[in-house]
Chains A and B, each alone.
With several copies, the nearest count.
Chain A
Amino acid sequence: MKKYTLVLGVIGMDVHAVGNKILEYAFTNAGFKVVNLGVMVSQAEFIDAAIETAADAMMISSLYGHGELDCRGLRGKCIEAGIGNILLYVGGNLVVGKASFAEVEQKFKAMGFDRIYPPGTAPETAIRDLKEDLGLMT
């Protein structure tokens, strides 16, 4: 089986490292090649790493509340960089405050994200979705 490559990281000025370490472990265990950029990753760093590793998806975390500000324009920059079709997943505590997830999802959908996850989503959920989106379902 082909090894699919994920670029993983926490976007913006966000330093929440715990979930990131667990996601690396879980995605690796699930058979993916994980390129973990850690915390405090800029949009440019995500894109550079994705191009360099010919990644299939970006797995972006934002916990600290500035996700909305930090994620804007990412899809556009991917298109400019010639990787417009890359899967964009995002999860964590995406906005400031306790918000209705439906609204948050719609907002990030409109920003070009393929999958959006509410706080506390288990890695397994994303793994299942990844397999579906990558056509790996048995």
Chain B
Amino acid sequence: MAELQNQRIETEEFFDMRREVLEAWPTGAEVNLDEAVAYQKSIPPPKRFSGVLDSALAAGGTLIQPRAGVALVEQQIALLKYLEEKGGADLLPATVDSYTRQNQYREAGKGIEESFAAGRSMLNGFPIVNHGVNESRRVIEAVSIPVQVRHGTPDARLLAEISIAAGFTAFEGGGISYNIPYAKDISLEATINYWQYVDRLTGWYEEQGVTINREPFGPLTGTLVPPCISHAVAIIETLLAAEQGARNISVGYGQCGNLIQDVAALKALNILAREYLERYNYQVALSTVFHQWMGGFPADEAKAFAVIAWGAAAAAFAKATKVIVKTPHEAFGVPTKEANGDGLKATRQILNMLRDQVLPESDEIDAEVAVNLAETRSILEKVVELGEGDWAKGAVRAFAAGILDIPFAPSRVNRGKVMPVRDDKGAVRFLDNGNIPLPRDVLEYHREKVAARAKTERRPVSFQMVIDDIYAISKGMLVGRPG
């Protein structure tokens, strides 16, 4: 492997890599690029991610998309048809199982067999690689709206090859966002490189006139991630993808729960992503994704509905292009199709009731946007400085130095020195910013906000506060107050 750098992979080199990738599992042989391009071109705009996102951007509404994956093709078809027809989804997913995510296709295969035998899905997602191009196409063809592959795969090269050839028109993930929260022992050099491949593949299709939407995974660990951290990652991945030729990108953000922070964060993310794309003159159609609360959910379904509805309200006020929807089963397990549909319907009701409403402009939101812009720029500029102008190198070095650091991430690559905590109004702040470079006034802002909470609660800021915050929403609160 050549030295990692943020530079478009040469076509020849890319095709050399492809051969090896496709050999990793027998279904790789089903990928025939010319035929795949023709197949993709036969998919009309209303069934393409880019087409539906474009319309939504023009019309101004917020689209809804569930997560959904089961072991078998027929089950997956039934599930997606239900979510389209009964749930009223605008966009569909194929959420991939955890074995496939770790390239353990043999285990995934066992899971498929056991699912046949058990008569229920023994896998937590849809194993696209095992099913292969032709079988997976049956899924795309059974529905009349676009389908995205959603996963969490550090090395998604084969998955991307098969997915795009199979007619999926959007592919989630990135070299950072699908490593640090989703892996333990894989180097960032490796995953960024794997994802340059995915992006290069996307760019190649783009050159043939086929637009595939790419979406860095916004929420990361989903647990009290300060917006500047997830923004920095999303923007780095956007730049890396754009460099390889991706032209349709959705940047995402996971709800923190404080409305002002959430609305401000999505606004800042949108501004920043455009700003950095412009800096390098990348021509990208940009859209935004708002994830309903990604941390621990309440077990009670009525309470879960409330969390879902609140996420929908924040998405509406934030004017996200799409919102990723949770379900009332979240705390328990992979939802039934009915529970999944219920999450969609509750979300739709809120979005519709709020679609003509706006959150008035205010100093509070402006201040929050300003802080969020400043802190994210501060991180990003340090990253590119460390990389000596190269975002790929910068990202690797930034993680090593703790300049980028994701709370609660399992990866050894991550320093794990950062500790977030909620402030007195429930916004996520830094209890400890570790080595994340923040302007002094921003740091002061965080300190004051956290101190105000400590004062209200008459207890010192401590790890106990963080634990209380981690449990808070699942226990029916936003801020984890004592007693």
Contact = CB atoms under 8 A, between A and B. Distances in A.
Q: Do A and B bind each other?
A: yes
Interface of A: 12-18, 21-22, 25, 38-40, 64-66, 68-69, 93, 95-99, 119-120
B88 to A, nearest CB: 18
Contact of A65 (B124, B331, B463, B474): B124
Interface residues of B, number: 40
A15 B408 contact: no
A15 B181 contact: yes
Contacts of B101: 13
Contacts of B183: 15, 40
Interface in B323-365: 329, 331-336, 339
A15 B122 contact: no
B334 A18 contact: no
Residue among A12, A64, A95, A97 with the highest chain B CB neighbour number at 10 A: A97
Contact of B408 (A18, A40, A69, A98): A18
A15 B182 CA distance: 6
Given A15-B184, A69-B114, A119-B331, A64 B336 contact: no
Given A18-B408, A66-B99, A99 B110 contact: no
Contacts of B110: 69
Contacts of B120: 96-97
B331 A120 contact: yes
A17 B333 contact: no
B162 interface: no
Contacts of B299: 119-120
A13 B121 contact: no
Given A25-B463, A25-B467, A120-B299, A17 B331 contact: no
Residue among B107, B121, B184, B296 with the highest chain A CB neighbour number at 10 A: B184
Contact of A13 (B98, B221, B296, B331): B98
Residue among B122, B185, B329 with the highest chain A CB neighbour number at 10 A: B122
Contacts of A17: 221, 408-410
B408 A96 contact: no
Interface of B: 98-99, 101-102, 104, 107, 110-111, 114, 120-124, 152, 181-185, 221, 223, 295-296, 299, 329, 331-336, 339, 408-410, 463, 467, 470, 474
A15 B114 CA distance: 23
Contact of A22 (B181, B295, B470): B470
Given A64-B98, A65-B124, A68-B122, A96 B334 contact: yes
Nearest to B301: A98
23 contacts: A14-B98, A15-B181, A15-B182, A15-B183, A16-B410, A18-B223, A18-B408, A21-B408, A22-B467, A25-B463, A38-B410, A40-B185, A66-B122, A69-B107, A93-B332, A95-B333, A96-B120, A96-B122, A96-B123, A96-B334, A97-B120, A98-B333, A119-B333
Nearest to A21: B408
Contact of A96 (B104, B121, B474): B121
A97 B121 contact: yes
A66 B332 CA distance: 13
Nearest to B298: A120
Given A39-B184, A120-B299, A93 B333 contact: yes
Nearest to A122: B471
Residue among A16, A39, A65, A95 with the highest chain B CB neighbour number at 10 A: A65
Nearest to B70: A96
A-B pairs with lowest CB-CB distance, top 6: A65-B124, A17-B410, A98-B332, A39-B410, A97-B333, A13-B102
B410 A98 contact: no
Contacts of A66: 98-99, 111, 122-124
A65 B181 contact: no
Given A13-B102, A66-B99, A119-B331, A98 B336 contact: yes
Contact of B329 (A25, A38, A68, A98): A98
Contacts of A64: 98, 124
A120 B471 CA distance: 10
A99 B335 CA distance: 10
A25 B470 CA distance: 13
Contacts of A25: 463, 467
Given A69-B107, A69-B110, 5 more contacts: A22-B470, A40-B184, A66-B123, A96-B124, A96-B334
